Structure 1
Amino acid sequence: MHTRDLSDHATYEAGRGIEEVARKLGRDPGEFVTLSSNENPHGPSPAAVEAIRETAGEVNDYPKAAHADLREAIGDRRGVDPRQVWLANGGDGAIDYLSRAFLEPGDDVLVPDPGFAYYGMSSRFHHGDVREYALSKGEGFAQDAETVLGTYDGERIVYLTSPHNPSGSTIPLPEVETIAERTGEETLIVVDEAYGEFADRESALALIEGREDVAVLRTFSKAYGLAGLRLGYALVPAAWADAYARVNTPFAASEVACRAGLAALDDTEHVARSVESAAAARAAFEERVEAPVWESEGNFVLIEVGDATAVTETLQKRGVIVRDCSSFGLPECIRITCGTDEETDRAIEELNAVLAERSAEAER
């Protein structure tokens, strides 16, 4: 017995964690700082932690009320009907729901290159195919309508990422609207705003009220610090909001996740601290790293270092774990998550030292 043919399916490569690297190098995990997965360096919302403790004794119940309460709270916060909030097991779960709702076998999706591998993975899981539009490193990974429309050929779903991972670039709202206007009636524009809290940009949510072809993805993983709970959602037009009941996994968001999400939504202090900290770290990387750093509006920066694999491995030995962007098709770049002040300072100092050593070796 065999699975269906999965040979054309990509695999998602996550950033390496402290335990994995420490085991590999035979070192104490306490020696390392991990800045490879765009996690919140300030931890989860304290209000969410308290909610998790209070909910722990109730996990024998399915999250019926909590699920409804969280959809209502998000709807109120985002200015949409709760039915337009599709809760999911992380942002990738919301991507799957949209794939289930829109893709027929053989449909194509259009995704950015480089970009988040799961867009294409979800399409292939649902018997769709994948086409790519290129974001140019030489143009700072700039995102605009012409870049997307120059490749567009009637795909069923077009994915935009704002801020874009791994570069941190964003796409202005008028450009999103132009793409929606100039694509076919049966094309859905999905704007992934997983890092939206960190960006000084108007959300594409502004387009949903007047259109039926734009959806927005959001997550609790980044600014709210709840990556381990796997909680995300899609915001969709009212015209097809009821499709959620036909495509979602029953109780996809757990009782603990829903209650933590409810508490985190109200913890504006934690979000503000996380956003301000990321902005300060981005500025520090741009000003102090002795290598090209792309301007970013996420909680991470992309840096050109020459041989990303070699630099990543050397940094690991020095106790700093970063993301080798070879898996994004950028073998000359690394991505570093914005850490605390101390973590960011350490990353900059160690990176500059590694770059200086490599430069000296090249000159010998």
Structure 2
Amino acid sequence: MTKELLREETKNAKELFHGDKVLRAGKKEVKEVIDFSTNTNPYGPPPELLRKIGENLEKISTYPPHQPRNIRKKIAEHCDSTPEKIVLGNGCNELIYLIARSFLSKEDETVTVEPTYTEYSKAAKLQGSTPKAIRLREEESFELEMEDLKGISEETKLVFLCSPNNPTGNLHKEKVLEGAAEICEEKKSLLVLDESFIEFTGREREYGPIHGGSENVIVLRSLTKFYSIPGLRVGYAVAPKPIAQSLRKAQPQWNVNGLSLLAAGEAVKSSKYRGKTRAKIRKNGTFLSESLSRLGVNTYPWDANFLLSDFSSLNTDAQNIAKKLLEKGIGVRMCDDFKFLDKNYIRMSFRPKKECEKLIESLKEIL
């Protein structure tokens, strides 16, 4: 009886798992795992951020301010925007669901560019929206082209686009992103551009339509990934002022805790940390991708802190490879739960050089 009171969308919701199912299944048997399945910065948070939190632990006994302007101002300066356009979120996931609740009604059409982050479709389905996929083609290295944007129509209410894309790791071309914004404006749709991994590219102040003044674009940014604070959960949206104001009002009070707010304000000031860790991650990524290619594994162009690899040319089961790697204490991310990908695909993040070397040596032994 009680279950019958639930909305159909809630009853039919599917729980999503972020991480590797092979790693999850076998972690009990392996005590220590080098985790290449998680795509956060492997070098840990900025020291100044940790120090700031340590000095303010007593703040957990007081309510945090809601959407504090001083934190929004620091973030706005970091991304060349204004505080009025910033909406703080308990990670980007909260903002994805907030946007879906705020814009979508039953049977509205939502467009996703696949394969991509799976929460977009789930958020849309929970509102009764009908997701429609634009397929990125493997033969085009999963690049979005202007021709693909024909999938956006007068029926489209929201378009979710991730750049750098997860799980493919590539930035979409700026002219195509601008084209997407223009088409959405023409079709009276809203473009939600998820740039959760943009900090890894070094182009967070220049790339995409974030600075173009578009009235139909919301940009999402994560502080979790680059600054290695997934346990604190904090991200932000940059939206047109009227939309940002409405979204802040629609949020529950105290949606971001006090320590997360402190971390957000400190993270965006960490310019030395950004330059230092970004250089190391890119160097390790180059080593990993070149080493995989020498083993005969196909890898795709990447701009973030991870790459997508295709093991099909080796005539072997990638899931079996993932299991054997786990036996050696290494976890990777199978990608068959992403739309249009199968069991040949594995995503690997860029960890410190010695750990990347261990991964390659382990693969050599397995292959």
Same fold, TM exceeding 0.5?
yes
Q: In the superposition, relative to structure 1, how do residues 245 and 269 fare at CA in structure 2: closer, same or farther (>3 Å)?
A: same
The answer for the alignment partner of 1:269 in structure 2 is 272
| Alpha carbons 1:192, 1:216 under 8 Å: kept | yes
Q: Which runs of 5+ in 1 are unaligned?
A: 357-364
- The residue aligned with 2:326 is 316
Equivalent of 1:15 in 8, 19, 24: 19
For the 8 Å contact 1:318–1:350, the answer to whether it is kept is yes
CA contact (8 A) 2:210 2:238 kept: no
Compared with structure 1, are the counterparts of its residues 157 and 140 closer, same or farther at alpha carbon in structure 2 (3 Å cutoff)? same
> 2:156 is paired with a residue of what secondary structure?
coil
Alignment TM-score, normalising by the size of structure 1:
0.90
Instruction: Supply the AA of the counterpart residue of 1:254.
Output: N
Matched-pair contact (CA < 8 Å) for 1:143–1:171: yes
Q: Does 1:229 align with 2:232?
A: yes
Q: Secondary structure at the residue paired with 2:247?
A: helix
User: SS in structure 2 opposite 1:327?
Assistant: coil
Check whether the contact 1:212–1:239 (CA below 8 A) recurs between aligned residues: no
Aligned to 1:254: 257
CA contact (8 A) 1:208 1:215 kept: no
Aligned match of 1:146: 147
> What is the Cα deviation at residue 208 of structure 1?
4.2
Q: Would the alpha carbon gap of residues 336 and 50 (structure 1) be closer, same or farther in structure 2, given more than 3 Å must change?
A: same
Which residue number corresponds to residue 126 of structure 2?
125
Contact between 1:143 and 1:170, CA under 8 Å: does it hold in 2? no
Quote the residue 2:198 is aligned against.
196
Residue 19 of structure 1: CA displacement?
9.2
Matched with 1:333 is 345
Secondary structure of the corresponding residue to residue 165 of structure 1: coil
- Unmatched tracts of structure 2, length 5 or more: none
Establish whether residue 345 from structure 1 lines up as the match of residue 346 from structure 2: no
With over 3 angstroms needed to count, the CA separation of the structure-2 counterparts of 1:136 and 1:23, relative to structure 1, is closer
In structure 2, distance between residues paired with 1:200 and 1:263:
18
Q: Is the 8 A contact 1:81 1:238 kept in 2?
A: no
Provide the C-alpha distance between the structure 2 equivalents of 1:70 and 1:279, rounded to a whole number of angstroms: 29
Matched, 1:304 2:314: no
| Aligned match of 1:359 | none
Q: Distance in 1 between matches of 2:355 and 2:54?
A: 28
Which amino acid is 2:346 matched to?
A: I
Give the Cα separation in 2 of the matches to 1:195 and 1:23: 27
Counterpart in the other structure of 1:99: 100
Question: Residue type matched to 2:198 in 1?
Answer: G
Q: 1:153, CA displacement in angstroms?
A: 5.2
Which amino acid is the alignment partner of residue 207 of structure 2? S
Deviates more, 1:9-18 or 1:192-201: 9-18
Deviates more, 1:338-347 or 1:58-67: 58-67
1:199 CA drift (Å): 2.3
Aligned residue number for residue 215 of structure 2: 212
Q: Name 2:63's counterpart in structure 1.
A: 62
Determine the C-alpha separation between the residues in 1 that align with 2:14 and 2:22. 25
1:292 aligns with 298
Distance in 2 separating the partners of 1:78 and 1:267 = 13
Q: Name the amino acid aligned to 1:160.
A: L
Residue by residue, what CA displacement relative to the aligned partner does 1:247-286 show, whole Å, maximum 9, x if unpaired?
2121111100000111111111222222112211221122
Measured at CA, do residues 67 and 239 of structure 1 come closer, stay the same or move farther in structure 2, by a change above 3 Å?
closer
Kindly, what percent of the aligned residue pairs are identical? 24
The 1:297–1:19 alpha-carbon spacing in structure 2 relative to 1, beyond 3 Å, is: closer
The answer as to whether partners of 1:21 and 1:316 remain within 8 angstroms in 2 is no
**CA–CA separation in structure 2 for the residues paired with 1:93 and 1:295:** 29
Q: Is residue 2:73 matched to residue 1:72?
A: yes
| More moved, 234-243 vs 81-90 | 234-243
Inter-CA distance 144–200: structure 2 relative to 1 (3 Å threshold): farther
Residue correspondences, number: 351
Relative to 1, partners in 2 of residues 1:9 and 1:212: Cα closer, same or farther, differing over 3 Å? Answer: same
Q: Distance in 2 between matches of 1:200 and 1:65?
A: 30
Aligned-pair CA distance for 1:73:
0.6
In the alignment, is the contact (CA less than 8 A) between 2:66 and 2:255 conserved in 1?
no
**2-structure distance, mates of 1:109, 1:156:** 6
Alpha-carbon distance, 1:315 to partner: 0.7
Query: Counterpart amino acid of 1:35?
Result: F
Tell me: CA distance 1:332–1:11, structure 2 relative to 1, closer, same or farther (3 Å). Answer: same
Following the alignment from structure 2 to structure 1, what is the Cα–Cα distance between the partners of residues 169 and 150? 21
Please tell me whether the aligned partners of residues 145 and 178 of structure 1 are also in contact (alpha carbons under 8 angstroms).
yes
CA RMSD of aligned residues (A): 2.2
